[in-house]
Structure 1
Amino acid sequence: MDIKVQAMGDYQTNCYIITIENKDLIIDPGVGATKWIKTHVTNPVAVLNTHGHFDHIWSNQEVKELYDIKLYTPRDDEFMLTSDPYGLGMPASYADILIKPDEEIEIEGIKIKFHHFPGHTPGCSAIQINEHLFTGDFIFKGTIGRFDFPMSDAKLMKQSISKILQWDNDFHIYPGHGDKTTLNSEIPTLKQWEASI
């Protein structure tokens, strides 16, 4: 399993390419991601979204049409794919597969689970592939995602933190912004946030 990452756009949003047995999964193709993706994939099979904020989905449609592959998006964030609330000219995209909360799927033999952690957005999810967790804007190194946006919910964020703190296994965490970390490393920070929200 090979993981490539490149920060995209003004918000330096991480786009990931995960390669397993010569199959490429693309996670969160943000602003300007297509050019980088074209130089780093050989056999793309799907586009996956952690959530629906514009800086994570900007190039969804362009990438899925370029490679004729399907777009998988958390069901509760589907409405964000066609809205442009900040008036930035975001291209609309259209999900082929809407993922239910905590749903596990399989794409060409690769098992993928979308763990539902709402709070930052209604459908915010962490995508698990083996022992790797692509957390979008739920968990970052040293902090968590914002929950003061119009579609955010502090109560749900607190519940999501409580949910992941019940996990027993450690995971490599690849966030939507910034450097990678591990779940065990972030537990003290998560406990602080759980107590303060």
Structure 2
Amino acid sequence: MDIKVQPMGDYQTNCYIVTINGKDIIIDPGVNALSWLKMYAKNPIAVLNTHGHFDHVWSNQAVKENFGIKLYTPKDDEFMLTLDPYGLGMPPSYADVLVNPDEELEIEGIKIKFHHFPGHTPGCSAIQIDKHLFSGDFIFKGTIGRFDFPNSNAMLMKRSLNKILQWEEDFHIYPGHGDKTTLRNEIPSLRQWEKHI
């Protein structure tokens, strides 16, 4: 597996290309992601969203139409794909597949699981591919995603933290912003947050 990352837009939102057996999976195509993806995604097969915030979904429609591939979005965040809450001119996008909480999919032989961790948004998910977890805005290196936005929920965030703290396996974590980390490294921080929410 090869993983490429490029921060996009003012919020430096990480867009990922995950390449397995010559097939590219695109995760969270943010602002102006298409030009980078056209250079580095040689055989894209799907676009995945970790959640519906504008800085993660901005280029959804342009990417799926350019490459002729399907868009997979957590169903509880579908409503965000056509909202432009800050009046920034976000292009609307339309999911081809609405992913249920904790659903496991197989796309061209690649197993993908959307672990549902609501709190930051209703549909917020961490996407697992093998031992790699693309955590969106749920977990960052040293902290967690905000839960004071419209459509955020502190109690759901607390429940999501409790859920991942039950996991026994370690994972490489690739967050929506900032540097990669591991679940094991983040456990102390997650425990502190879970206690204080």
TM-score (norm 2): 1.00
Q: How does 1:115-154 map to 2 (within 5 A)?
A: 115-154=115-154
What corresponds to 1:173 in structure 2?
A: 173
The one-letter amino acid of 1:107's match is I
2:6 is equivalent to residue 12 of structure 1: no
Q: How does 1:1-197 map to 2 (within 5 A)?
A: 1-197=1-197
Distance 1:144 1:184 in 2: 14
C-alpha displacement at 1:171, in angstroms?
Answer: 0.1
**CA offset digits 1:48-103 (Å, max 9, x no partner):** 00000000000000000001000000000000000111111000000000000000
The one-letter amino acid of 1:17's match is I
The one-letter amino acid of 2:192's match is Q
Unaligned runs of 5+ in 1: none
Q: Secondary structure at the match of 1:38?
A: helix
Unaligned runs of 5+ in 2: none
The one-letter amino acid of 2:127's match is I
Distance 1:15 1:26 in 2: 7
List structure 1 runs of 4+ shifted beyond 3 angstroms: none
The one-letter amino acid of 1:153's match is N
Distance 1:20 1:39 in 2: 17
Distance 1:74 1:109 in 2: 20
Distance 2:155 2:95 in 1: 28
C-alpha displacement at 1:41, in angstroms?
Answer: 1.1
Distance 1:144 1:119 in 2: 10
Distance 2:171 2:116 in 1: 16
Q: Secondary structure at the match of 2:40?
A: coil
- Percent identity, aligned pairs only? 78
Distance 1:111 1:94 in 2: 23
TM-score (norm 1): 1.00
C-alpha displacement at 1:21, in angstroms?
Answer: 0.3
Distance 1:104 1:153 in 2: 25
